[in-house]
Amino acid sequence: MIRIVRKIPRGHVVSYGQVALYLGLPRAAREVGWTLNQLGENTLIPWWRVVNNEGRISIKGSRYSADDQRKLLRKEGVMVGDDLTFDIEKYRFIPDLKFINDLKLDPTYLEMISQKVPYNQLLPKDS
């Protein structure tokens, strides 16, 4: 789980559900959030690049505020509006083949989730 979040390139975001998908647990979005909450001050993990699936910053009960997260995202070029929302499809991290292969997931499952979140053969744009 941590492994996945750490691979999100600068300037890109993923949804909680998306991370859950890559974990092989399609509906375990809550678990992702819970785990991130336990990270605490471990800044090695780019937790701020994880948002909900509607392009809205959703952060409750954490030591960090939604404002902190917005600040971090903006610093990376993600234009988050005052209402804490933004166009997630514009910034969504689309994994490459290597990323997908490293997940070692069942091919049938991959087929299934690729319809939801496609993956590129090219490396994701990392600026």
Partner DNA sequence: GTGATGACGTCTT
Partner DNA sequence: CAAGACGCCATCA
What residue ranges bind DNA (CB under 7 A)?
Answer: 15-17, 20, 25, 27-34, 36-37, 39, 47-48, 50, 52-54, 58-62, 64, 69, 116
Query: At its nearest, how many Å lie between DNA and the CB of residue 7?
Result: 16
Q: Rank residues 9 and 26 by Cβ distance to DNA and give the closer one.
A: 26
Q: Rank residues 100 and 117 by Cβ distance to DNA and give the closer one.
A: 117
- Decide if 15 contacts 52 (C-beta within 8 A): yes
d(CA 64, CA 117): 28
Q: Rank residues 31 and 96 by Cβ distance to DNA and give the closer one.
A: 31
Structure tokens at 116: 């939801």
Query: At its nearest, how many Å lie between DNA and the CB of residue 90?
Result: 16
- Decide if 98 contacts 78 (C-beta within 8 A): no
Residues contacting 97, CB < 8 A, separation 6+:
119, 120, 121
d(CA 66, CA 58): 7
Residue length of the chain: 127
Query: At its nearest, how many Å lie between DNA and the CB of residue 55?
Result: 9
Query: At its nearest, how many Å lie between DNA and the CB of residue 114?
Result: 13
Q: Rank residues 81 and 98 by Cβ distance to DNA and give the closer one.
A: 81
